[in-house]
Structure 1
Amino acid sequence: MDQENTELSGPARQRRRLVQALASATLLGGTALCGRALAQALPTDPEHVLDVVIIGAGLAGLTAARDLQRAGCTSFAVLEARDRVGGRTYNHPLGNGLISEAGGEWIGPGQTAIFDLARELDVATFPTYYQGRNVYLVGDARYEEDLSNGQSANHAITEKLNQMAQRVPSKEPWTAADAAEIDKLSVGEWLAGQGLDNASRLSFDTSIGLTTGTPPSSLALLHYLSLINSADCSMEKLEGFKGGAQETRFVGGSQVLCTRMAQALGDRVKLASPVRKIVGWDQDVVELHTDQGLIRTRQVIAALHPALCNQIVFDPPLPEGRAQLQRLWPSLAPMRKTVHVYERPFWRDKGLNGQVIQADGPLILSCDNSPADASVGILMGFVRSAQLSHDPARAERTLAEIYARALGKQALEVKQFHDHDWAKVDPWTLTCVGAIPPGFLTRWGRYLKPAVGRLIWSGTETSDLWTSSMDGAVRSGHRAALEALQALASTRRQA
């Protein structure tokens, strides 16, 4: 063997090492094994052509970058359009080391990818506070209900959705046997035929709307069933606090995951570097035109919301199916979250959990967002942006008066107020979650995940499990890194 290696040329020896690495790696075992074997054989190019460029420094992009680094690949960069990392995770600093999350914040059972990431980054978690009674405001009426045991407001309808979800695979919902028929319906149309009373319909509309960013009347039943499918075919697990995807929070807020990953990556993360144009995605070397200059690379991981890809010019144009998917992807669910800070979580003294649902006003839902030690009281609110002033003083007062009606007059004693409207903060966050309408997935879904030339698509929307969640973003980053390393190895094996 030594004699044979001596007689081979340098490039030939490199190709042989790559083939041997591929032969010995267990490709289904994840990046930690096969990615390491592949990456160690990939040298840094002396002509400043990077092996991989990742677009987007959110959970997906930074996870992919971290996997590349852990695998031994050093020839990569992460380009972020914003002046911060985190994507759709963002922490409001409240002083004294306290924060409240403005974007994604909750995780729960079954979301193993993000739990694993948090453990590896030494980010602790703590239980969401949900014990006690919810408060409902409907017109002039106010009533309380204890749902902290995790029971659904209408178990029969929930169970029916769970059973239907068993037939809709989360990985490729458009391949379900009856996908075409299901995809003709919105969730709202389906619910309208179930004989729900007004209270039950309000409960369904609120929870589904918050999970998907759109009213059930605009949401595809096929898409929603695929989300339930990814949550072990349990709507309770998808929507709930106890035993559900909202059960757990991060100490220091969800953005700390991205902050720590970026710190470990160092100067490979380039902020304020939006990609304006991608040239030659069908060639061996791709050119990325950014606000900070031209970057050349062999593979591109686009860790972006599909609709954000429309802000990039592709030369040559993308294939029609992928181009149409991006152009038509819904981007009208930006979300707006507010924060009221109090001296302490006073509502707990009354047996209330801080969850207020308003049927006909600016507040959709509030939650107790206090830190684990309850050193201050924090009410986070999801609001209907069109019904709430964008003047901070007026918005603070309007919501405080709603909280006072629901929780007591102490709600008027606000210490801090923060308002984060994702539709207004920057041009790089078109939407927080995927509000997929009827008919979309069966027509365009098959173009979402397959690579196009040197372009690998990532981001939570492309995840096989827990789509639209932070866990889905992490999973998509793992997959994208592995695809990039495999593509590099394949290309060099053929050279």
Structure 2
Amino acid sequence: MDEKQKRVASDAPPSGANLSRRGFLGAAAGAVAVAAMPSEAAALRTNSDDVLDVVIVGAGLAGLTAARDLRRAGCESFLVLEASDRVGGRTLNHDLGNGYISEAGGQFIGPGQTAVADLARELGIATFPTYYQGKTVFLAGEGRVAMDLEGTFGTDMKIAEQLNELARGVPSGAPWQAERAAELDAMSLGDWLVKQNLKPEDRIGWSIGSLLSGGAMPAKMGFLHFLSMINSANSSYEQLDSIKDSAQETRFVGGSQILSQKMAQALEGKVRLSAPVRQISDWDQSVVSLHTDNGTVRARRVIVALTPALCNQVHFDPPLPALRHELQRRWPAHTPGRKVTLVYAKPFWREQGYNGHVIQANGPLLWAFDNSPPDGSIGVINTFVTQSMLASEPARAQAQLTDILAQALGDHARHCTQFYDHDWGQDPWTISCVSAIAPGFWTRYGAALHPAVGKLIWSGTETADIWAGYMDGAVRSGHRAALQALQALRQV
């Protein structure tokens, strides 16, 4: 670092300092033209004298936020390496034509998610409310029930209040530090729900909620982890799981991937795509070497902005400490997530008094919802589906889903104009969408999640203090990683 960079880094706020809490932009904004990123990686520098201050592995929300913060602090000696041919990580927009998009990955934000809301405001990206006015349809076999839930999923408030009380004692960023961590981590969410004597229909609701929020059925969802998720949402299960006044309340104009696209565009050649890091050497020395398919780059600090499961695709030399290695090796990667988009000439369900939300018990459709653009000029329904119950062949999958939606919303649902099916498990640089943490995991391996190892700084949404697993958590983790890198470089 030169003297100017040292001075700027010394003025950086201490780790954990609060960022802006101003509200996010709510005014309408025009479509934003995003410059195309290069599809092929440029050759990386290999000269032994070329040592960067920071290399960031991963160009999702976490990695790009960290890069943006480094530049804002005056550091220009950095590079972002991305294995994929695009930026955005687990956010991805489908181009529907005529300026319309639909999100294939993470897309919602809500109250308390101030970090991602502030980022959108700074980037000039507007937001709009998720559509939920009208009746939600529940399907069970041939049975069908429609009711107005007023922006909720019909949560059993008695059960929710018990969960909220328990969640207050489980810190979201470090659940293993809870006073009752050993007791709570020894059971699954399913174990706890069994003791509540739920009715069969209520058990179905909780199963679907667990799958959507945490990526696993209650029997495989660690109870301690589930409580830590609720803790992120101000210890309010309703704020975590509903739409109105909750984590699914708001969407981005232009789709969620535009956050990463605009950050990468502003980084002016600092992002290298199609550059998977295969090996990280000498992480315990003063200079670290990162070996990619396009050459080797060297740095004084490395921010690894990847889900722990993806870290297993990198060879570390020397081997990582045993606990960190085991955390990565055992990190759950069995919940890839599959999201399907159906496009219609218009949102016909609204005219019939429905909100486009459909929940199916014991079928391939977990949750369908209205994902139309702000002006409702075309109709879009997004669906979360059960991978094993939906055909893999597109035409068969489309037939299955349109049959289900026709049962819920009428025959108009059979006539979609576009169909997109995205299975995150088929993406080698993602492999998993959300992390369904199993019972016993946090108390055994949690202590290795955050601490830096040698010159390696861990980032990514899973490391966030609050809203881990969400876009907001990714942004928060990027801010923290950049501060850690700048503070470490001050001491070099």
State whether TM-score is above 0.5: yes
Partner of 1:79: 81
Partner of 2:447: 446
1:113·1:474 contact (CA, 8 Å) conserved in 2? yes
2:12·2:73 contact (CA, 8 Å) conserved in 1? no
Partner of 2:483: 482
Partner-residue secondary structure (3-state), 1:355: strand
Say which of 27, 31, 56 aligns to 2:14: 27
Partner of 1:167: 169
The alpha carbon displacement at 1:90 in A equals 0.2
1:334·1:431 contact (CA, 8 Å) conserved in 2? yes
User: What RMSD, in angstroms, separates the aligned Cα atoms of the two structures?
Assistant: 1.9
The structure with more radius of gyration: 1
Q: Does 1:468 find its partner at 2:469?
A: yes
Partner of 2:245: 243
The alpha carbon displacement at 1:75 in A equals 0.3
**Paired letter, 1:356:** V
Partner-residue secondary structure (3-state), 2:312: helix
1:127·1:247 contact (CA, 8 Å) conserved in 2? yes
Question: Which whole-Å CA distance do the structure 1 matches of 2:327 and 2:153 have between them?
Answer: 38
The alpha carbon displacement at 1:30 in A equals 4.7
Partner of 1:146: 148
Question: How big is each residue's C-alpha offset from its partner over 1:132-161, in whole Å with a ceiling of 9 and x where there is no partner?
Answer: 111111111111122125474311000100
Identity %: 57
2:160·2:237 contact (CA, 8 Å) conserved in 1? yes
Question: Which whole-Å CA distance do the structure 1 matches of 2:190 and 2:81 have between them?
Answer: 39
Partner-residue secondary structure (3-state), 1:54: strand
Partner of 1:6: none
Range 295-304 or range 145-154, more displaced: 145-154
Partner of 2:409: 407
**Paired letter, 1:176:** A
Question: Which whole-Å CA distance do the structure 1 matches of 2:359 and 2:8 have between them?
Answer: 56
- Shift in alpha-carbon separation, 1:23–1:302, aligned structure 2, 3 A: closer
Question: Which whole-Å CA distance do the structure 2 matches of 1:29 and 1:387 have between them?
Answer: 44
Question: Which whole-Å CA distance do the structure 1 matches of 2:19 and 2:176 have between them?
Answer: 31
1:31·1:71 contact (CA, 8 Å) conserved in 2? no
Partner of 1:293: 295
Partner-residue secondary structure (3-state), 1:419: strand
Question: Which whole-Å CA distance do the structure 1 matches of 2:322 and 2:12 have between them?
Answer: 35
Partner of 2:438: 437
How do 1:204-219 and structure 2 match up within 5 A? Answer: 204-219=206-221
Partner-residue secondary structure (3-state), 1:94: strand
**Paired letter, 1:458:** S
Q: Does 1:90 find its partner at 2:92?
A: yes
Partner of 2:269: 267
1:364·1:382 contact (CA, 8 Å) conserved in 2? yes
Question: How big is each residue's C-alpha offset from its partner over 1:251-286, in whole Å with a ceiling of 9 and x where there is no partner?
Answer: 010000000000000211000000000000000000
Question: How big is each residue's C-alpha offset from its partner over 1:66-96, in whole Å with a ceiling of 9 and x where there is no partner?
Answer: 0001111000000000000000000011100
Question: Which whole-Å CA distance do the structure 1 matches of 2:88 and 2:111 have between them?
Answer: 23
Say which of 413, 421, 424 aligns to 1:422: 424
- Shift in alpha-carbon separation, 1:14–1:417, aligned structure 2, 3 A: closer
The gaps in structure 2 that reach 5 residues or longer are 21-46
Partner of 1:110: 112
How do 1:15-54 and structure 2 match up within 5 A? Answer: 18=6, 26-28=13-15, 30=17, 47-54=49-56
Partner-residue secondary structure (3-state), 2:419: strand
Question: How big is each residue's C-alpha offset from its partner over 1:166-219, in whole Å with a ceiling of 9 and x where there is no partner?
Answer: 110112110111100000110111111111112222222112210111111100
Partner of 1:367: 369
Q: Does 1:343 find its partner at 2:345?
A: yes
Question: Which whole-Å CA distance do the structure 2 matches of 1:356 and 1:153 have between them?
Answer: 16
Partner of 1:327: 329
Partner of 2:35: none
Question: Which whole-Å CA distance do the structure 1 matches of 2:220 and 2:130 have between them?
Answer: 29
The alpha carbon displacement at 1:386 in A equals 0.9
Partner of 1:40: none
TM-score (norm 2): 0.92
Q: Does 1:129 find its partner at 2:96?
A: no
Question: How big is each residue's C-alpha offset from its partner over 1:315-372, in whole Å with a ceiling of 9 and x where there is no partner?
Answer: 0000001000000000011100001100111111121111111112111110100000
The alpha carbon displacement at 1:374 in A equals 0.4
- Shift in alpha-carbon separation, 1:475–1:278, aligned structure 2, 3 A: same
Question: How big is each residue's C-alpha offset from its partner over 1:97-156, in whole Å with a ceiling of 9 and x where there is no partner?
Answer: 111000000000000000000000000000000111111111111111221254743110
The alpha carbon displacement at 1:421 in A equals 0.6
Task: Name the count of aligned residue pairs.
Answer: 466
Partner-residue secondary structure (3-state), 1:267: coil
2:19·2:115 contact (CA, 8 Å) conserved in 1? no
Question: Which whole-Å CA distance do the structure 1 matches of 2:100 and 2:153 have between them?
Answer: 32
Partner of 2:30: none
